[in-house]
Chain A
Amino acid sequence: NAGVTQTPKFQVLKTGQSMTLQCAQDMNHEYMSWYRQDPGMGLRLIHYSVGAGITDQGEVPNGYNVSRSTTEDFPLRLLSAAPSQTSVYFCASRPFTENTEAFFGQGTRLTVV
C-alpha cells in the first residue's frame, strides 16, 4: 500500500530558484492539501483541493502555486524560493466526507540558502 508519496525527501535550493514538490496518492481521495511545519508552529495549511480542477488557498499561500489536473496528483510549486520557505512540507489526502482521517506523506525537508 503506497498511500501518499512525496518526492523528493530532501532538497536544497538557492534563493530565487524555482522547484516543484510532488505528491501522489493512490486511495482515490477527493481532498488533498499541503502543509508546512516549522519548529513551534505545528502544521500550517498552504493550499488545498477538494477535487480535480479545484484548488483554494489556506493560511499561508504566498509564494506557492498548486494545480490539480488529476485526482491522484497535487504538486506544489515554489516560484522564487526564499530563505523564509525553509521548512518541512507535508502533503495529505482524505475522503471529502465529514470527520475522516487525513493520511500524510513522509515529508520533504527543504532548505533555501
Chain B
Amino acid sequence: TQLLEQSPQFLSIQEGENLTVYCNSSSVFSSLQWYRQEPGEGPVLLVTVVTGGEVKKLKRLTFQFGDARKDSSLHITAAQPGDTGLYLCAGLEYNFNKFYFGSGTKLNVKP
C-alpha cells in the first residue's frame, strides 16, 4: 500500500475540457509537491504547497492543499495536448527525510 493515493489513475479527455486530480493520505505532511513526468524522463517539479488551505495557480493549473495538510488537488482548466503526461504528488515528512510519492495520474489530452 502507498502512503499517498491518487485518483483517477488514468484520464483521457478532449482538448478544452477541465479536470481535477486528487491526492489523499491519512498522514500529515510538512508540504506537498506536484510533479509532472514525460516518458523517458525524470519527474519535474510543478509546485510546492506548504500551508493548510493554501491555493496556488500556475497559468491554467490550480493547486490546493487541504486544511488538515493530508490531501491536495490539481485542477486544470481548458486542457491542452501539451498537458499530457504523468502527474505525481509527493508528501514531505516533517523531519525532511522522506518524500513519499503517490501512484500517479496518467493524463491524455486528445486534440
The distance from the CB of B101 to the nearest CB of chain A, in whole angstroms, is: 4
When A42-B101, A106-B40, A107-B42 are in contact, do A96 and B33 touch as well, CB less than 8 Å? no
Chain B residues near A96 (CB-CB < 8 A): 96
Q: With an 8 A cutoff between CB atoms, is B66 at the interface?
A: no
By beta carbon, the residue of chain B nearest A30 is B96
Q: With an 8 A cutoff between CB atoms, is A74 at the interface?
A: no
B1-46 residues at the A interface, CB under 8 angstroms = 2, 4, 6, 9, 30-31, 33, 40-45
Q: With an 8 A cutoff between CB atoms, is B76 at the interface?
A: no
* Size category, A interface: 20 to 34
Contact between A98 and B42, CB atoms less than 8 A apart: no
A47-78 residues at the B interface, CB under 8 angstroms = 48, 50, 56, 58-59
Chain A residues near B101 (CB-CB < 8 A): 35, 42-45
The distance from the CB of A64 to the nearest CB of chain B, in whole angstroms, is: 16
Contact between B30 and A42, CB atoms less than 8 A apart: no
25 CB-based A-B contacts, threshold 8 Å: A4-B42, A31-B96, A40-B9, A40-B103, A42-B88, A42-B103, A43-B90, A43-B101, A44-B2, A44-B101, A45-B101, A50-B97, A58-B98, A90-B42, A98-B30, A98-B31, A98-B92, A98-B96, A99-B31, A102-B33, A102-B90, A106-B41, A107-B40, A107-B41, A107-B42
Return the CB mask of B87-107 against A: 1 if under 8 Å, else 0: 010101000111111111000
CA distance A105 to B42 in the complex (A): 6
Q: With an 8 A cutoff between CB atoms, is B50 at the interface?
A: yes
CA distance A6 to B12 in the complex (A): 32
Chain B residues near A56 (CB-CB < 8 A): 97
The distance from the CB of A50 to the nearest CB of chain B, in whole angstroms, is: 7
Chain A residues near B9 (CB-CB < 8 A): 40
Contact between A42 and B2, CB atoms less than 8 A apart: yes
Chain B residues near A50 (CB-CB < 8 A): 97
When A41-B103, A42-B6 are in contact, do A104 and B42 touch as well, CB less than 8 Å? yes
By beta carbon, the residue of chain A nearest B89 is A42
CA distance A90 to B6 in the complex (A): 20
The distance from the CB of A109 to the nearest CB of chain B, in whole angstroms, is: 9
